[in-house]
Amino acid sequence: MSTSHEYPLHLHGWLRIHKDGRCERFIGTDVVPAGTDPSTGVHSKDVVFSYEHSLIVRIYIPNTIVSTRKLPTLIYIHGGGFMTQSAFSSAYHLTLNLITKESNVVVVSVNYRLAPEYLLPIAYEDSWEAIKWVATHVNGNGPESWLNDYADLQNVFFGGDSAGANISHNMAIRVALNPIDDINLKGVIMLHPMFGGNDPVLDEKKDPEYKAFADQVWKMANRSWVGLDDPLHNPDMDPRISRFGCSKILLCVAEKDFFRSRGLYYEKVMAKSGWKGKIQVIESKGEGHAFFLLNASNENSRVLRNKICLFINPIRSKA
């Protein structure tokens, strides 16, 4: 992380902001078209859910799907520190093709507007709009035929990695506070969640330099007066957390991920909150942050996807 006259803020390897305000990103800028994936047979397509803000979801369905048997629906929210990546980047497209096939689910991948051009809470609001749009398909009368025909909206899961896991957590709280009668949220999948706070927790105390980097990412994306203890960022500061909108969470952390401490601390926060649900914690040994996006074929990635499959679809549907 550095600053200069030409680049007021530069997160090396991630992005830099020019003096004219333009944001230049170095990761997650590649775009993979939707279509039929040759290795999995999964079909995907892009659908506009908000013409006002040009917001799009990418929908995935297995190649074995039939309209007579609807499938669990995973609303997935990508990571990237709220500032990089998209629903169309190669890493997410590959991973969600695999999850769709292996878990036998319908996946709705949300593409929200990125900071710093669109500061938080825009990403949260865009994700909420996507969830409400999905809910309009409950009676088979929504605008998108794949969701009308194939999505079981009484069997919905939220999921995401990093910043997307943070958003998924906050969407589950919002569902409880503002119920959407047309969907039944069964669980939330949180992969290496990006949380933080003013005071270091657990092993964060051993790496103040990286905590400073993580703190700066949040401040760049948010810049609100609330700061690092914003309840959106630090669940321990959220008095509404016991109202979490489902009864189970799959919480995944990685041994070499800086955010591991926040993930494990999140388990403690939920345990003391009064929430009556259950958290299943999975730790991937020897792995770093969002490793499953970087190497989908390694053994730990396969194990993690299998845990997701069992969480969503314990008795795997046979189409």
Q: 166, 196 in Cβ contact below 8 A? A: no
Question: Could you identify the residue written with the tokens 């194939």?
Answer: 150
Instruction: Evaluate whether 211 touches 272 at the Cβ level (below 8 Å).
Output: no
Q: Classify residue 134 by burial, with Cβ atoms within 10 Å: 0-12, 13-18, 19+.
A: buried
CA 160, 260, 217 angle in degrees (round to 5)? Answer: 70
289 φ, ψ (degrees, to nearest 5): -65, 130
Instruction: List the catalytic residues.
Output: 162, 257, 289
Residue 159 in contact with residue 74, Cβ under 8 Å? yes
Q: What is the C-alpha to C-alpha distance for residues 211 and 86, in angstroms, rounded to an integer? A: 25
SS3 of 160-180? EECHHHHHHHHHHHHHHHCCC
Across 46-74, b (16+ Cβ under 10 Å) vs e yields ebebeeeeebbbbbbbbeebeeeebbbbb
Q: Which of 219, 173, 181 is nearest to 198 (CA)?
A: 219
